Amino acid sequence: MPKTNDAALAAFISAKTEIDAMLERLAALSAEHFECSPEHVNWGDVGTLEHYRARLREIIDMAFREGEHAD
């Protein structure tokens, strides 16, 4: 009897669905300038955004085999 990958496929779709939801939430937050108005931006906000950027850069580098993850 051939093996199926139904369980793996279900887990993959579940993870992808969660990632899609996270990206949608992040895009909405970005559209709102991460809830920072220009009059109230401070260096703490910059640090927080830089932290987000660094984590996203790490993910992008892994996903596209760039940066330290380049072949």
Q: Single out the residue of 6, 42, 62 nearest to residue 34, CA to CA.
A: 42
Angle CA 15–18–21, to nearest 5: 150
Give tens-digit pLDDT for 57-70: 999 999 999 988 88
Give tens-digit pLDDT for 13-48: 999 999 999 999 999 999 999 999 999 999 999 999
User: pTM score, two decimals?
Assistant: 0.82
What is the predicted pLDDT for the residue at 56? 97
pLDDT at 2 over 70: no
Q: How far apart are CA 15 and CA 55, in angstroms?
A: 18
